[in-house]
Structure 1
Amino acid sequence: MSFLARALIVATALLAAGSPAQAGTTTATLGVRVVVQQSCIVSGATLDFGTYSSNQTKDLNGFTQIAFSNCPQGTLRFELDGGVNGSAGVRRLSDGKGSFLSYGLYRDSARTQVFGQGNDARVITLPASGSGKIGVMGRIPGRQLVPAGTYTDTVAILLTF
């Protein structure tokens, strides 16, 4: 083989091996979107029993409503904790001086279904998104001998939607 033929073979091999094959590229975009709606809100309330006479014979009943707004369609679960002076099973109002007055919170007007947490939560279903109120019934049992004063408790409300 002549020198010229060998030189052509080597040059062709170098050209083929010297530049790698290029892959093609292209670009596009990814759109990202979310709709933010106003969040479901629960409003606090006050259950004011009025006046209880120490050691009165009759129970003292009370009623209030918890409002909710801007909630989505579906299940709403309302839970009440035990307050700062007791537990959901043993709620207590305090005069701040060491005296306590027992009371209960209920989901029903007969005051037989405790309003608390877990299985004692109040669950409602909204057929459409919206707002509304749920009732909270309270009872201070009679025959509690306590000193005169103003008795209070603070109960946290948890709304799960």
Structure 2
Amino acid sequence: MRARRWILALLGIAVSGTTEAATSSSFEVSASIVPGCLVQSGTQVFGVLDFGTHSALARGAVSASLGGTGVRLRCTPGVLLSMSLDAGQHAVAGVRHLQRVGAGQRLAYQLYRDAGLSQVVGIGQALSLIYSDPNAIALPLYGRLQLPGDLPAGQYSDAVQVTLTW
């Protein structure tokens, strides 16, 4: 009786193995491409705003523009891009300052979004960036400080955090 079940089971496998069935269906393939920006860089520094070297006794206004950019920014054509800047590391009462390395002396400075130094960049203020080449976007930043004529000699610096949104 056992042998008979075994033979019937083998016949069942043989019969079911020779039956062919086919079915077909489909699936959907899609992608959404959204506008955006890409920060390409080997460094995290957007550039340097260098006011130069001056005598400790110098007086007068000194200006500079953001240069030596180490970051390349590319955006989808037409994307709305904006930036905001923090207060820097040495701000006092809402005013950005350079601070003498290793000491506490400070020198106030102001940031602007235009070369004519008429459009002040406030702390945390969102600024729209206008660009003509979406593959080479530069940050339009300019600075001015007033040399008081009685600064201790030394290196003065600050670091400002840039936030880009799109």
The corresponding residue for 1:103 is 109
Match of residue 57, structure 1, among 56, 59, 68? 59
1:103-125 CA-partner distances (Å, limit 9, x unpaired)? 1111112212112445x443124
Report the counterpart of residue 87 of structure 2 in structure 1.
82
In structure 2, C-alpha distance between the alignment counterparts of 1:94 and 1:81, rounded to whole Å: 16
Aligned residues: 135
C-alpha distance 140-128 of structure 1, shift in aligned 2 (>3 A): closer
Pairing 1:138–2:140 present: no
Deviation at 1:141, TM superposition (A): 0.9
Give the SS at the match of 1:108.
Answer: coil
TM-score (norm 2): 0.65
2:44 aligned with 1:46: no
Query: Structure 1 residues 117 and 30 mapped into 2: Cα distance closer, same or farther (>3 Å)?
Result: farther
Superposed CA offset, 1:86-117 (max 9, x none):
06941101113111111111111221211244
State the AA in 1 paired with 2:74: N
Distance 1:48 1:27 in 2: 65
Contact persistence 1:47–1:64 (CA under 8 A) = yes
Change (3 A) 1:91 1:55: farther
Deviation at 1:81, TM superposition (A): 1.1
The corresponding residue for 1:115 is 121
Cα separation, partners in 2 of 1:147 and 1:157, compared to 1, 3 Å: same
CA-to-aligned-CA distance 1:10-44 (integer Å, 9 cap, x gap): xxxxxxxxxxxxxxxx9753545355888421761
Q: 1:40 and 1:46 mapped to 2: Cα distance?
A: 21
Is 45-54 or 146-155 further displaced after alignment?
A: 45-54
For structure 1, which runs of at least 5 residues remain unmatched after alignment? 1-25
Letter paired with 2:103: K
Q: Secondary structure at the match of 2:141?
A: strand
Q: Is the contact between residue 80 and residue 88 of structure 1 (CA under 8 Å) also seen in structure 2?
A: no
Identity %: 30
Equivalent residues of 1:83, 1:91 under 8 A apart: yes
Q: Is the radius of gyration larger for structure 1 or structure 2? A: 1
Backbone CA RMSD of aligned residues: 3.1
The two structures have a TM-score, normalised by structure 1, of 0.67
The 1:38–1:114 alpha-carbon spacing in structure 2 relative to 1, beyond 3 Å, is: closer
State the distance in 2 between where 1:127 and 1:51 align.
Answer: 34
How far off is 1:143 after superposition?
A: 1.8
Which ranges of structure 2 fall in alignment gaps of 5 or more residues?
Answer: 1-23
Question: Which residue number corresponds to residue 69 of structure 1?
Answer: 73
